Amino acid sequence: MQRFLLFVIATAILVFSFNRDGFADAPLIVFMIAEREYRTEETLPDFFEEELEPRGFRAEFVFASEEHPNQFNNLEQLSEADLLVLSVRRRTPAERQLDLIRKYLNGGGPVVGLRTASHAFHQRRLAPPAGHSEWKTFDRDVFGGNYTNHYPADLKCIVSSESTSEKHPILKGIETPFRAHGSLYKTSPLEKGTTVLLRGSVEDNNSEPLAWTHAYRGGRVFYTSLGHPKDFLQPEFKRLLRNAIEWAIDKDDPSSPID
């Protein structure tokens, strides 16, 4: 009996060690969230738990301080990240924190941006507080984007795929057209080097790039102007975001089934 108990204990220790080491080796995604319009502080953690955690990813969630909206808690985790997912709107981080973001991106760290990330680190009229800084050209530099404004929110937006990109791995398993929620962002013209995947169109207006890829300092970049709370209820958007994260992190087989 004693020998059997020792065997059970030894087996449990081995299983625990394997799981612990395997978890430590799992890709780490840092979600940086600071916006008051689209509730991504709720939708992104739910998305991670539903779509990414079962596929072996880890997450750290970095939020802005309630008392100091330009201050981010635990941003130092970015130095360990395999991917940054950005959902931030018009914040001017402390200089040392913006330096952490620049260091990550300049080192070729991949990034996925949602909606307001196109104007993440730039105030329209206010100067940054003392000791804080902004990155006015972040959208153009990193995403290859050109956010200028948006169409009225009451116009219905229909999403279609770019014909030249239909075989891109980020579009795997996504059927178009589908409806987007929230206002359509005005994003054209994009910078050279971008690859448009999806377009959005509203009545009586030209279409706008709605999802695309880019590269920054050797790192993979994906941006989409989707990200409204109702978008997170749509299978097409959830598949798009999951595919984009797996592509950006350079997983061999994006959107492979859960084991």
* CATH code where residue 75 lies: 3.40.50.880
How does 171-190 read in b/e, with b if 16+ C-beta sit within 10 Å?
bbebeeebebbbbbbbbeeb
- Decide if 204 is inside a domain: no
Contact 231, 180 (CB under 8 A): yes
Indicate yes or no: pTM above 0.85. yes
d(CA 248, CA 103): 18
- Decide if 160 is inside a domain: no
Residues of the domain holding 52? 23-147+191-197+210-248
Bridge partners for 67 per DSSP: none
Domain count across the chain = 1
Q: What is the pLDDT of residues 60-94, one digit of tens each?
A: 999 999 899 999 999 999 999 999 999 999 999 99
- Decide if 153 is inside a domain: no
pLDDT at 259: 35
- Decide if 178 is inside a domain: no
- Decide if 57 is inside a domain: yes
Per DSSP, which regions of the chain are E strands? 28-34, 58-63, 83-88, 111-114, 149-150, 157-161, 178-180, 185-186, 195-202, 208-216, 219-224
- Decide if 3 is inside a domain: no
In which residue ranges of the chain is pLDDT below 50?
A: 1, 4-21, 254-259
pLDDT at 256: 45
- Decide if 89 is inside a domain: yes
- Decide if 13 is inside a domain: no
pLDDT at 126: 85
d(CA 159, CA 34): 26
pLDDT at 128: 93
d(CA 132, CA 129): 5
